[in-house]
Structures are given as structure tokens and as C-alpha cells.
Amino acid sequence: MKNKKAAKLHTIAGAAMVGFSLWHAGLYGTKYAKFLNKHSKKRLKASEV
């Protein structure tokens, strides 16, 4: 990248894209969606204690 602002923006955009991809994959009844739901429920139970 030519400047630091563009590089930082590119990194943030990449992280946002990965997060959105994971969220979108969790919407459907795939094996990966079941995996994500199972682990998010475990994380919620652990945080309640």
C-alpha cells in the first residue's frame, strides 16, 4: 500500500469481511453453522457463570 491509512483501512475491511462471512455461513443449516451455534452456546453458558 502507498500510505498507512490505506493499509489500515484494507486490514479493517478484511477483518470485517471475514466476520461477515462467518455470520452469513451461520445462517444456513450447514455443518459449519451447527459448529458455530454449538460453540456460541457454550461461550454464553461460560460467561453466565
Residue 1 is predicted with a pLDDT of 62
Residue 49 is predicted with a pLDDT of 63
Q: What is the pLDDT of residues 1-49, one digit of tens each?
A: 679 999 999 999 999 999 998 888 878 777 877 888 888 888 777 777 6
Query: Is the pTM here over 0.75, yes or no?
Result: no
Number of domains in the chain: 1
**Domain hosting residue 26, numbered range:** 4-48
Instruction: Give the whole-angstrom CA distance, residue 16 versus residue 49.
Output: 30
Grid cell, residue 33, equals: 453453522
Instruction: Give the whole-angstrom CA distance, residue 7 versus residue 44.
Output: 34
Instruction: Give the whole-angstrom CA distance, residue 36 versus residue 29.
Output: 11
Residue 38 is predicted with a pLDDT of 86
